[in-house]
Chains A and B, each alone.
Chain A
Amino acid sequence: GQQLNQSPQSMFIQEGEDVSMNCTSSSIFNTWLWYKQDPGEGPVLLIALYKAGELTSNGRLTAQFGITRKDSFLNISASIPSDVGIYFCAGRMNTGNQFYFGTGTSLTVIP
């Protein structure tokens, strides 16, 4: 199946710092999604992107659909302890209905 490269694999940051993570694919995608997963729970949708260049915010979170359509970025501003979790990207190509998922970025926020 399609592989999405998500980086960094893990991050340890101080409370209040900004966070950036990204996801790249070898294929062109027409939809990018960002999810957050807490331990023992299912992923929760944060942001959905449908157009190249699109920039969408959800509170302190901002995600962008890369103009090459092969990447996407997620930024978290002024991190707080409840931001801790694993963040996943997911993308869908123009053909087919399957979403492909990245391997996740584990975020730890140090108070």
Chain B
Amino acid sequence: DGGITQSPKYLFRKEGQNVTLSCEQNLNHDAMYWYRQDPGQGLRLIYYSQIVNDFQKGDIAEGYSVSREKKESFPLTVTSAQKNPTAFYLCASSLIGPGQGDQPQHFGDGTRLSIL
């Protein structure tokens, strides 16, 4: 089945530790995105990438890093510089249409990150 796979489903981080969240898609989508969701809030964009080896910061990139070495993979690292990392993290992907990003985003099932 085609889709977006995020792993792990639950992740715990110790103080001062970096952790990496995985996101893989087999939809042959060009663009991939990382969002953070906090209770009662909408999704906030952390980073996005429209092409391999290129990515742009979103609204809340501080304390996070990403890489896009392969089209199907877009891992997110939550660094120790992110002081409030507890949240639900969602990865999404989309085609890039002729109208520059017309295509809707499709989401994975998320990773819940908590602080120990």
Contacts and interface: CB of A to CB of B under 8 A. Distances in A.
A103 B41 contact: yes
Given A1-B44, A1-B45, A97-B48, A31 B110 contact: no
A100 B40 CA distance: 16
Interface residues of B, number: 29
Interface residues of A, number: 27
30 contacts: A1-B44, A1-B45, A1-B59, A4-B42, A31-B101, A31-B102, A31-B104, A33-B104, A33-B105, A42-B109, A43-B90, A45-B104, A88-B42, A90-B105, A92-B101, A97-B31, A97-B48, A97-B50, A97-B96, A97-B100, A97-B101, A98-B45, A98-B48, A99-B105, A100-B42, A101-B35, A101-B43, A101-B44, A104-B40, A104-B42
Interface of A: 1, 4, 6, 30-31, 33, 35, 40-45, 48, 50, 88, 90, 92, 96-104
